[in-house]
Amino acid sequence: MQSKVSQNNHSKGWVLGILGILTLSPDTLIIRLVDSDPWTFIAWRGAFMAIGMVFILSLSYQSKVLSKFFSIGWLGCLIAIIFSINNVFFQLSVQTTAVANTLVIVATSPLFAAVMSVLFLKERVKTRTWLVILISVIGVGIVFTGKLESGDLFGNFAALLVAIGMGAHFVLVRLARPTDMAPAVAIASVLTCLMGLSMAPDLYLSPPQFGYLALLGLILLPVSFIFLTRAPIYITAPEVSLILLLETIIGPFWVWIIIREEPPVATLIGGSLIIITLILHAILSLKDFKQG
């Protein structure tokens, strides 16, 4: 019976993670469509996301929503700080180095998540998971074959901080279970907005830009990160980080569909490798629970 519950929980974690990344996947497309000053983008993104998160959490918890915010404790405050820093450094990395550099470096986040899971959660990361991480990173490398540049040192370093921060985020969320850390993401959105406001030259957006950012901040980001923040309750931090790699593959397809920017063959090859590897990993993990 306990094995059946564990199997169901593991399946739930994967479903939450995949739903989260599917909802998040148009993020890159919308960044391209908005094309504003990075700090202006950060300010509006944080503001819209904060509103969207509070609205969804209020619907979920109703009169208990304030108590949920207070229940996150110091761990939730740390998660909020890390999440907001990740948002800012990702945007700055994209602006100061080659996009390919940013995405390849950020794709190492499962490795950092695995190491931190071993060090801080004392969780044993299976050899198969380490192998999946390695194959997935190779797949991302294939996607950007020939596109990597020396780039700006700050931009590359910022991407590395994001990779470490993402791994830490999922490890801390798993450490805090069963407490829902979605309110920490709402607080992080406010912090992100404040950082953007302090640096933005102005807050002007054209009506189309405003509409795209409203869609992203009010709906897509809150829904996706509620899913992604709850996924580590049921599956390990390295597994959630691996699911995030799907955005590297799905994002370019949104760009292809909407603005007709055709993905290169390398994207199709590397993306197929990542998707097949993750599917096999999920199937084998479920078989382990059934046998257990």
- Total structural domains within the chain: 1
Residue with the two structure tokens 């986040």 = 109
Q: DSSP letter at 201?
A: S
| Range of the structural domain that residue 273 is part of | 2-291
Contact assessment for residue 222 and residue 22, using Cβ atoms and an 8 Å cutoff? no
pTM for the predicted model, two decimal places: 0.81
From first to last of the 292 residues of the chain, give the pLDDT tens digit. Answer: 445 555 677 788 888 988 998 898 888 788 878 888 889 999 999 999 999 999 999 998 988 999 999 999 999 999 999 999 998 998 888 777 766 667 777 777 887 888 888 888 887 777 877 887 788 778 777 766 655 555 567 877 888 899 899 889 989 988 888 888 999 999 999 999 999 999 999 999 999 999 999 999 999 999 998 998 888 888 888 788 778 777 777 777 787 788 776 666 766 677 677 778 777 776 666 565 555 5
The sign of the CA dihedral 50, 52, 58, 60 is negative
Closest CA to 189 of 231, 155, 240, 229: 229
d(CA 259, CA 97): 23
Beta strands, E only, the chain: none
